[in-house]
Structure 1
Amino acid sequence: MCKRGLEQFLLNCGLTLLLVGCILAAAHERPCPIAYRCADVEEVVWSTDGSKCFVWRNGCHLKNENCQRLNSRREELREVTKEECQEKCVDACIEIYSPVCAEYNGVRRTFSHNCALEAHICRSGETYSLFGYAECGAN
């Protein structure tokens, strides 16, 4: 009887360890299962990956980006000061006209290309969102 009890105990321990292992493996597969709902409040946050400056409408958007980065096993962005971030702004863009439409606070604006949009966001801190790949009037 004692031997059967020990076998049952070991079986239960083995199953428990297997379950814990599966949970940990699933957590490792997708370390950040959350997608935050972000308010439309503008409290600009600056971040970098070490080579490029990223500007966010607020900290919630940065949290979402870092969750996606964790899930795709990319390095998280680090929050920095505006000045530190702007040292990494794009200074020159290729002069090919490939217009994009972006929106900021309900106003749409055409930029000559995506690089010009990113450079403007980086220099101004205006958190434009890409609206379309054409002039704004064509959208």
Structure 2
Amino acid sequence: MKYQALTLFCLALATGIAANSVSNNETDCPQICSSIYKPVCATDGNIFKEFASSCNLKADNCRRQRSALQTYSETDAAWCSSELVENLHEKLGSFKLDVNECLKPCSMIYQPICVTNGKYRALMSNVCAFETFNCALQVAGVETAEKFRILQNEKC
């Protein structure tokens, strides 16, 4: 009786391990990934999603492919980690935009860009307005690491 129970336990354990291991066959999806948190941001063209690791992204994509769904592509981490803000100046507050050394003639042509500083992302009307905004931030004493950068040359 003890041997039967021990045999069944070992068989169940071996089956569980085999079912949860990563196959070398590229057509199989990873079943388990290491628990090391190394976040990856990805998009399917509509939705941005943060995965715990690139292994988790690969496993999700494998299941999505089998279900004939659009897969995720790795993208800039700022898409997942930053908050979309309607009025960036209002959100940051306490600095002047009309600083003499930053003012320059900008065209009124609307060529939207999505900008981020890693914490916030927002839409700006064009590159010139973006450069003026960053200059005003710098004059106000904002650290270089907190300045904004272009995330993409279109709407957020």
Q: Which has the higher contact order (CA 8 A, sep 6+)?
A: 1
> Greater helix percent: which structure?
1
Common fold by TM > 0.5:
no
TM-score normalised to the size of structure 1?
0.37
